[in-house]
């Protein structure tokens, strides 16, 4: 009886979620280009463009960026934009240009640029 109760309890407990792919590559890549992220962040996400070097855009392929930046921080940066300490706009806000779902696609795409770290 105890074994049966334990089996039922285990069957009803939450099961580990299998890993979800980091990003829908084609959709994220298209949106990254359409939203003009490439101008500063580069096609490969390294930030190695004239504008990216000028604004010190982060390297999305960097293990440090991937480890130290949360999805929430990325969502916030895309939604609200980024300013430096002097309030100069480094990246404009996209809250009125992109739907919430699109912002999440971009976050997953940026995450995918770092590989599956």
How do residues 96-110 score in pLDDT, each as one tens digit?
999 999 999 999 999
Q: What is the pTM of this model?
A: 0.76
Model pLDDT, residue 78:
98
Model pLDDT, residue 85:
94
**Quick one: which of 109, 6, 99, 100 has its CA closest to 60?**
109
pLDDT tens digits along 42-98: 999 999 999 999 999 999 999 999 999 999 999 999 999 999 999 999 999 999 999
Residue 91: strand pairing partners: 82
CB 32 within 8 A of CB 109: yes
**Quick one: which of 103, 58, 54, 62 has its CA closest to 80?**
103
Residue 18 confidence class, pLDDT cut points 50, 70, 90 = very low
CB 109 within 8 A of CB 31: yes
Cα distance between residue 47 and residue 38, in whole Å = 8
Residue 112 confidence class, pLDDT cut points 50, 70, 90 = very high
């Amino acid at each position: 009886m105890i074994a049966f109760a334990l089996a039922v309890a285990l069957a009803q407990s939450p099961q580990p979620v299998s890993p979800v792919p980091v990003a829908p590559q084609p959709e994220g890549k298209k949106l990254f280009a359409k939203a003009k992220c490439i101008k500063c962040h580069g096609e490969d996400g390294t930030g190695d463009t004239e504008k990216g070097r000028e604004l010190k855009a982060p390297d999305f392929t960097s293990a440090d960026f991937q480890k130290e930046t949360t999805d929430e921080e990325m969502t916030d940066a895309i939604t609200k934009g980024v300013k430096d300490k002097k309030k100069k706009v480094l990246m404009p806000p996209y809250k009125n240009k992109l739907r919430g779902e699109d912002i999440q696609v971009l976050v997953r795409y940026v995450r995918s640029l770092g590989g599956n770290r």
